[in-house]
Amino acid sequence: MKQVFRLPDVGEGIAEAEIVEYLVKVGDKVKADQMVVRVETDKAVVELPSPFSGTVAEIPLKPGDTVRVGEPLLVIETEEAGEAVEKAKKPERREEPKKPAEKEEEAKEAPFRPSEAAPEGKVLATPHTRKLARELKVDISTVKGSGPNGRITDDDIRRASEEAARPKEPVAAPVKAPSTAGFDFEKYGPTRRVPLKGVRKRVAEVMTRSASTIPHVTHFDEADVTTLLEVVDRERYLAESRGIKLTVLSFLAKAAAASLKEFPILNSSLDEETGEIVYKEYIHIGIATDTEVGLMVPVIRDVDRKSILQIAEELQGLAEKARERTIDLDDLRGGSFSITNVGAIGGSWATPIIQHPQAAILLAVRAKKKPVVRDDQVVIRTMMPLAISFDHRILDGAEAARFMNHLVELLEDPMRMLVDVA
């Protein structure tokens, strides 16, 4: 029988991908879990394995085509028809009717099977869940399921009932950006059009949502990194002997992690649906990385538990993968705070946009020598401009300023990171 391999839902709001390359051709034999196609999502290039064994019967797309989640990637001729006939001939064993609680538990534990997905417009739920919806006067067709394949569970119904009972606050209508539809750009001279897709499209969507949802406030400061640069220069040879490139960014990430432990509100998120502030007990820092296709933010996990050399090594590896488009999707997920560093490029100041749904993002700009006053004397020091944008819904300027004060103290006294930072 013919089986259709469709683009799976890989999460993180990814709705479509672009075909990069088919690794098989019509007539090829494939095995289950064999990599058959490379696709580019708005985050990375990934290889997808076939869920079936058999012969490639049809390849409906070609490199460069865009495919949405649920649309066909391959058609594979399998040998499962004979097995299905044999199973149909076996007498069916009568089973005792399951209790409602057992049905619900079974629904929660059921594995993902594409063939079980509900047809469009049909609600996937157990009879017990439907009964509960009627009792709580919940329109089950409006409930989004959290179970496998979108199956609606009892908990989904209860949450919908609680939400309906909660008083609604008036929500201001979003302000639409002015449209360029009908604007004749070519009227004034020659133009060139390039599709907005992949990483660039994702960046546009994320930045628009963040800027329009989160009330941004940016706090500026600067740190005297003269001593820090001396430490980096002195320890660079040790790092290079281990194949590691030691940079100021590694120290910045460590100092940020220590400051987040002191001021955990900056490591939180606002759950807009429940109206709760979510404090994260982990510190996973995303490092904004410039690539040819757009901005990517690989995540270094548990930064507070790692040494500066470990951070530098991970940072180096993730940055290389991001630029080569070989990074795993998991390496781009789960960040609780972000750092963007434009020091290698230049500039003096900037206002970074928060990675929704995080609470803050830290920006570092190129350090420069400048005259400053120390002990009533004008001296030349190397100063690094810093800026932190934060979500003013859940924290105020005073807390952001305290965070920055702590961060600056650590950067100006790098040895403290070795003796006073867990």
HEC string of the chain equals CEEEEECCCCCCCCCEEEEEEECCCCCCEECCCCEEEEEECCCCEEEEECCCCEEEEECCCCCCCEEECCCEEEEEECCHHHHHHHHHHCCCCCCCCCCHHHHHHHHHHCCCCHHHCCCCCCCCECHHHHHHHHHCCCCHHHCCCCCHHHCECHHHHHHHHHHHHCCCCCCCCCCCCCCCCCCCHHHHCCCCCCCCCHHHHHHHHHHHHHHHHCCEEEEEEEEECHHHHHHHHHHHHHHHHCCCCCCHHHHHHHHHHHHHHHCHHHHEEEECCCCEEEECCCCCEEECEEECCEEECCEECCHHHCCHHHHHHHHHHHHHHHHHCCCCHHHHCCCCEEEEECCCCCCCCCCCCCCCCECEEEEECCCEEEEEEECCEEEEEEEEEEEEEEECCCCCHHHHHHHHHHHHHHHHCCCHHHHCCC
Q: How many CB atoms lie within 10 A of CB 283?
A: 23
Phi then psi dihedrals of residue 117, to 5 deg: -60, 140
Q: What value does the mean pLDDT take over residues 153-158?
A: 83
392 catalytic? Reply is yes
The pLDDT of residue 168: 55
The pTM of the full predicted model, rounded to 2 decimals, is 0.64
Q: Based on the domain organization, do 262 and 328 belong to the same domain?
A: yes
Q: Based on the domain organization, do 255 and 403 belong to the same domain?
A: yes
- The answer on pLDDT for 20 being more than 80 is yes
Model confidence at 91, pLDDT cuts 50, 70, 90, reads very low
- The answer on pLDDT for 411 being more than 60 is yes
Q: What percent of the chain has pLDDT over 90?
A: 38
Assess if residue 178 is contained within a domain.
no
CB 299 within 8 A of CB 333: yes
Q: Based on the domain organization, do 151 and 256 belong to the same domain?
A: no
Q: Based on the domain organization, do 38 and 157 belong to the same domain?
A: no
Q: How many CB atoms lie within 10 A of CB 120?
A: 6
Model confidence at 397, pLDDT cuts 50, 70, 90, reads very high
Catalytic annotation, pick one of 128, 216, 284, 392? 392
Q: Based on the domain organization, do 133 and 230 belong to the same domain?
A: no
Assess if residue 208 is contained within a domain.
no
Q: Based on the domain organization, do 155 and 263 belong to the same domain?
A: no
Which residues, 6 or more positions from 353, have their beta carbon under 8 angstroms from its beta carbon? 207, 210, 211, 216, 361, 389
- The answer on pLDDT for 323 being more than 70 is yes
Q: What average pLDDT does the chain have?
A: 82
- Identify the domain containing residue 55 by its residue range: 2-88
Q: Based on the domain organization, do 229 and 355 belong to the same domain?
A: yes
Residue 158 belongs to domain with CATH number: 4.10.320.10
The pLDDT of residue 88: 35
Assess if residue 205 is contained within a domain.
no
Assess if residue 103 is contained within a domain.
no
Report the candidate in 49, 70, 72, 52 with the shortest Cα–Cα distance to residue 61. Answer: 72
Q: What value does the mean pLDDT take over residues 366-372?
A: 93
Report the candidate in 375, 41, 325, 47 with the shortest Cα–Cα distance to residue 203. Answer: 41
Say which residue, 158 or 30, is predicted with more confidence.
Answer: 30
Residue with tokens 């394949």: 149
Assess if residue 203 is contained within a domain.
no
Q: Based on the domain organization, do 390 and 268 belong to the same domain?
A: yes
Q: Based on the domain organization, do 290 and 349 belong to the same domain?
A: yes
Say which residue, 92 or 269, is predicted with more confidence.
Answer: 269
Span 326-363, pLDDT tens digits = 888 889 889 999 999 987 777 788 899 999 999 999 99
d(CA 416, CA 52): 56
Q: Based on the domain organization, do 133 and 259 belong to the same domain?
A: no
Structural domain count, the chain: 3
List the Cα angle 288/291/292 in 5-degree steps: 155
Span 190-243, pLDDT tens digits = 988 888 877 777 778 888 888 888 999 999 999 999 999 999 999 999 999 999
Assess if residue 398 is contained within a domain.
yes
Q: Based on the domain organization, do 146 and 281 belong to the same domain?
A: no
Residue 326 belongs to domain with CATH number: 3.30.559.10
